[in-house]
Amino acid sequence: MSQVSYTEDNIRSLDWKEHIRMRPGMYIGKLGDGSAADDGIYVLLKEVIDNSIDEYVMGYGKVIEVTVDNGDVTVRDFGRGIPLGKVIDCVSKINTGGKYDSKAFKKSVGLNGVGTKAVNALSNYFKVQAVREGKTKVAEFQQGELVKDHKLQSSREQDGTMILFRPDDSIFKKYKYRNEYIESQLWNYAYLNAGLKINFNGQVYVSKNGLLDLLEHKTNQDNLRYPIVHLKGEDIELAISHGNHYGEQYYSFVNGQNTTQGGTHLNAFKEAFVETIQKHYNKNYDRRDILTSIVAAVSLKVEEPVFESQTKTKLGSTDMGPGQPTIRTFVKNFISEKLDNFLHRNTEIAKEIERRILQSQRERQEIADIKKLANQRAKKANIHNKKLRDCRIHFNDGPRKTDEDLRLASTIFITEGDSASGSITKARDVQSQAVFSLRGKPLNCYGMTKKVVYENEELNLLQHALDIEDGLDNLRYNRVVIATDADVDGMHIRLLLLTFFLQFFPELVRNGHLYILDTPLFRVRDKQQTFYCYSDAEREAAIAKLRGKPEITRFKGLGEISPHEFKDFISENIRLEPVVIGEETNIDKILEYYMGKNTPERQDFIIDNLRVERDEAEEKEEEKVEEVAVEV
């Protein structure tokens, strides 16, 4: 065995920008291409806006302007502006910033002095401008390196800070900002800072009633069992209701940061809510029945919060601040007093909450025996490995880490048919990619109760494979990918699976775990080159690039793609379309449109969204579409 030297020459010190660029995951979590809400390019945007939000919270600047144009991002606030003599230091020196002064930024999100430095280091181009008391200072950077230090000049502009950056496409490969994710991010800022006006590409985001507005926008008011309960106190704000949906739905925040993975504050809320309800009715109702179908927004302000990662998606703090009560005690005291008082004053709402609890209790007892048999069947199926080709790393394996491979771990592909599942099974990475094979088309479960999940073998086994029966805490795969053929039957299966998840596990979709696999329709090649094309336009472009006579293959099913070829489409070049629930999306109306009573509009949708080659088989294909639409 060869000896590896270890001397002074092996010791290397990295400067701040080298370290960020070499280990970006330590600073912004996973990289990604913009197809997921927590991809790095949105974290870069958040880090810049957070500084502007802190100015607003301190009472400076009521408007923030955000522009995203072809990958270039500009954020302009009208706060006090960075002190002109420290502009360069604040965006290029680690551990430099105003937020270490706890008096000035007592409950700020960005306490580590890293945010804008990470944005600077991970951008091909970064420009900062501060305007303060009639003067302005501008500096320009490339990949964290100062390239132009402008002289101090006079200015008639309004005080504030402007930052423009362009993410480095060598790090964020093939990245693309998606407006729906940015809009959701900006709405959260608006809800948490009532009165703040955010301008994004000409659209205005503003909220007057905080978390009350958030729940009104996020839910279908017709499906709520009672009017939203809105409670506010010093350092805490809550909005609560119950609906008829399955699962629990939470929007949690700490100091304005959207803690998508919850943390100590959300756990404290659930515990306090359950205890308060039990004491109010003087009945030992089951925790599951109290929390079933709840929809709640929770916002807490904490001094010096400690998060479990740089991306701040889960709160780890146990105390409200130095010398202050625990978060658990603080939240419990607030809810036990304010919520209990509210219920005593609003008896109709109190009665409706109890009716919802009793309904959940009846439904749970009704399916208890069926569930027991279904669980036994699921265990037997897993033993024989008939449905699931599992992977070795799972999303719920221990604490979340910032390393991208583990954060993405793991992916499960839901396929139909032996040929498709066989190709993906042979091509997959057994460490982090699993395959679940459906037998035929799944049941259309629109409008049905959860009882059907346990009675239907396919749906029950799928639920168990994901381990989501009791919520997302035990979710085994970070990315749940629907992998169906790009034909009529594939579209049908896709709609049925979407219905299943939206009907029974909408939080899986809301939390950004559900995707559609995009696979090539054509292979275009000659003796020198091979291109895989995902559309007619890509096919024509590929033909134009070839020098010899093209050989064109039309893939009509996943099973027709060899495992050798498939490996490329599900590894680093994978194309995934996220299933996104927009700000104004009404799940009930969506399900009714696609899966309810048949309409000509739905038939047109299926036809228009099929990527079918326009050849002589077109008429037969469209006839089949009509049959499928009627069947759905």
Straight-line distance from the first to the last Cα atom of the chain, in angstroms, rounded to the nearest whole number: 65
Q: CA nearest 445: which of 565, 329, 269, 591?
A: 591
Side chain identity at 467, as an amino acid letter? D
Asked which of 26-30, 229-233, 540-544 is least confident by mean pLDDT, the reply is: 26-30
The angle subtended at Cα 300 by Cα 294 and Cα 305, nearest 5°, is: 130
Asked which of 74-88, 242-256, 302-316 is least confident by mean pLDDT, the reply is: 302-316
Asked which of 177-191, 417-431, 499-513, 571-585 is least confident by mean pLDDT, the reply is: 571-585
For 145-198, the pLDDT digits (tens) are 999 999 999 999 999 999 999 999 999 988 999 998 999 899 999 999 999 999
Is the distance from CB of 189 to CB of 53 less than 8 angstroms?
yes
Residues ≥6 apart with Cβ < 8 Å to 108: 50, 54, 57, 99, 255
Pairing relationship of beta strands 197-200 and 63-69 according to DSSP bridges? parallel
Structure tokens at 312: 């701040």
Q: CA nearest 437: which of 455, 457, 456, 462?
A: 462
Is the distance from CB of 500 to CB of 466 less than 8 angstroms?
no
pTM score, whole prediction: 0.76
Q: Using the structure block, give the residue that is written with the tokens 């629907």.
A: 482
Give the side-chain half-sphere CA count within 13 A for 517: 29
Q: Using the structure block, give the residue that is written with the tokens 């604490």.
A: 399
The yes-or-no verdict on residue 498 having pLDDT over 50 is: yes
What pLDDT is stored for residue 381 in this prediction?
Answer: 58
Task: Kindly indicate the confidence band of residue 585, based on its pLDDT and cuts at 50, 70 and 90.
Answer: low
The Cα–Cα gap between 239 and 390 comes to 40
Give me the sign of the Cα torsion angle 97, 98, 99, 100: positive
Phi then psi dihedrals of residue 313, to 5 deg = -95, -5
SS3 string of 380-405? HHHHCCCCEECCCCCCCCCCCCCCHH
Side chain identity at 287, as an amino acid letter? R
The Cα–Cα gap between 362 and 289 comes to 9
3-state secondary structure of 153: strand
Structure tokens at 591: 């399900």
Structure tokens at 586: 């009404």
The Cα–Cα gap between 469 and 460 comes to 9
Q: CA nearest 389: which of 354, 422, 416, 361?
A: 422
Cα 499 to the center of its chain, rounded Å: 19
Pairing relationship of beta strands 257-258 and 388-389 according to DSSP bridges? unpaired
Residues ≥6 apart with Cβ < 8 Å to 513: 472, 475, 477, 478, 479, 480
The Cα–Cα gap between 504 and 57 comes to 39
Side chain identity at 506, as an amino acid letter? P
C-alpha distances (whole Å) from 591 to each of 271, 281, 334, 463 are 33, 36, 38, 20
Is the distance from CB of 569 to CB of 561 less than 8 angstroms?
yes
Task: Kindly indicate the confidence band of residue 385, based on its pLDDT and cuts at 50, 70 and 90.
Answer: low
The Cα–Cα gap between 480 and 478 comes to 7
- For 454: left if phi > 0, alpha if psi spans -120 to 50, otherwise beta; the answer is alpha
Asked which of 102-111, 365-374, 466-475, 576-585 is least confident by mean pLDDT, the reply is: 102-111
For 346-374, the pLDDT digits (tens) are 999 999 999 999 999 998 888 887 877 77
What pLDDT is stored for residue 221 in this prediction?
Answer: 79
Pairing relationship of beta strands 433-438 and 479-482 according to DSSP bridges? unpaired
The strand ranges marked E within 466-623 are 479-482, 514-518, 522-525, 530-533, 551-554, 575-578
Structure tokens at 281: 């009715």
Helix axes 327-345, 264-281, angle to 10 degrees: 40
The Cα–Cα gap between 442 and 534 comes to 26
